[in-house]
Amino acid sequence: MSDQKWFLDDSWESINRVIAYGFGRVAKANIDGVINEFQVSAIIDNNQELSGKTYRDIPIIPYNEYKRNEDDKIVITATGRALRSIKESLQSEGLVEFTDFVDLGTFVNEWYLRFKDQLNLGRVAQPITQRCTLRCKDCQLFMPYITNPQDDAYETVKRDVDTFFALVDHVSDFDIIGGEPLLYPELARHIEYVSETYGNQIENLQLITNATIIPNEEIINTCKKHGVHIRISDYSHAIPYGKRVREFIDLLEKEGIRFTLFSDMVWTDFGYPFKVACVGESIKEQRDHMVECNGGMSRLLHNGRIYFCNPGGGAYEAGVFHSEEGDYMDLAPLLKNRDEGRRLLQLYCMGVMEKGAMSICRYCSGYCGGKEITSAIQNVESGTAI
């Protein structure tokens, strides 16, 4: 792959020591993989509540206490607006992107393939049902706009995972999502299959739920057996189901299942499809917008395809946007020449596309350009299936 276009300069090849910048939810889900591969001498985070604490014996310090060595390499483990703010701060100090620092997504996508011949990806989400208990107006996957929501056939769900992991060596964060995944009748079976077959290729297997449904005994036992991390998006301050959330959490605590509760989430209004943004007419403007937005995105695995971002794939699947050739990547044809297929998949997941950017990027405000909204606004069209 000598003709490959890389972002990182050659100084990254022989690194064994890095600094992690950021200890929010993205870092907590992915930092163990970095620590297991590299010597992490410090975790930088400006949250005063974390100052003086440690994680796996690694000190967490504010940036103003960080004493930089000339050969330090910084991996930013934040996303969205936080990522942009950190990049701007480091650049103001004279540090150079892709020489002195890089975002986690680019680092994971590129470093392992380039220097270890492994195709590693950051965060990948697999929706398994279009059905949900809520109707969030600004749903990232546009689920409320699907006229006849369905569960995915399990044969298709399983096939997608098999094809994906035939190409990919490792995923930092593999998310099983919906809709509401606890509505999916084959959920326990799918968790069992993914973990038993590909668990050694997944750093963090995660189930994302709104906690409106109490999981049955089979799902609880399966999550417990395979160490599934459950991420709860709690909207009870906007929708009256706080008692259900508490019951859900009590069950997880009783069973010793890992979980993270997000009760103060800030959503992003991408604008589309209600207000169509125009980020620029030129391909360069659209690509710059896509790359900047990338820090908050996961790749979406669905119906034999990888989409660069959840909203891009979700808009297509919901029928509110018509994707063009090059907006997504069909996985099965990549297996015909696996080495070349891996290279093409890696390029796509890094945002290196022949067409420059996804078609929807021209119209979507994205994570960094979108308006921050509360979940109360987010859920003005909430359902009643609680």
Name the helix (H) or strand (E) containing 123: strand 120-127
Whether the Cβ atoms of residue 139 and residue 89 lie closer than 8 Å to each other: no
Give the mean pLDDT of 114-118. 87
Give the mean pLDDT of 300-320. 90
More confident residue, 378 or 257: 257
Q: Which two tokens stand for residue 123?
A: 């965060």
The H-assigned helical ranges of the chain are: 25-37, 80-92, 104-116, 154-167, 187-198, 217-226, 242-255, 283-293, 310-318, 338-349, 366-369, 375-378
Whole-angstrom Cα Rg for the chain: 20
- Residue 205 pLDDT: 95
- Residue of 281, 286, 291 whose CA lies nearest to 351: 291
Secondary structure (3-state) at 43:
strand
In this structure, of 64-68, 254-258, 360-364, the range with the lowest mean pLDDT score is 360-364
| Winning range, highest mean pLDDT, from 51-65, 253-267, 351-365 | 51-65
Give the mean pLDDT of 336-357. 89
Is 348 exposed, middle or buried (CB count within 10 Å of its CB: 0-12, 13-18, 19+)? buried
Residue 350 has pLDDT above 90, yes or no: no
More confident residue, 376 or 139: 139
Handedness of CA 66, 71, 76, 77 (dihedral sign): negative
For the entire predicted model, the pTM comes to 0.86
In this structure, of 23-32, 120-129, 216-225, 340-349, the range with the lowest mean pLDDT score is 23-32
Residue 138 has pLDDT above 60, yes or no: yes
- Residue 195 pLDDT: 98
Determine the angle formed by the axes of helices 154-167 and 338-349, rounding to 10 degrees: 100
Residue 276 has pLDDT above 70, yes or no: no
Residue 296 has pLDDT above 60, yes or no: no
Cα 31 versus chain centre, distance: 14
Instruction: For the chain, give the mean pLDDT.
Output: 87
Residue 1 has pLDDT above 50, yes or no: no
More confident residue, 173 or 334: 334
Beta bridge partner(s), residue 372: 268
- Indicate the pLDDT class of residue 369, thresholds 50, 70 and 90: low
Whether the Cβ atoms of residue 127 and residue 142 lie closer than 8 Å to each other: no
Is 293 exposed, middle or buried (CB count within 10 Å of its CB: 0-12, 13-18, 19+)? buried
The H-assigned helical ranges of 262-309 are: 283-293
Residue 53 has pLDDT above 80, yes or no: yes
Cis peptide before 179 (omega within 30 of 0): yes
Give the mean pLDDT of 66-83. 87
- Quote the Cα angle for 286-290-293, to 5°: 140
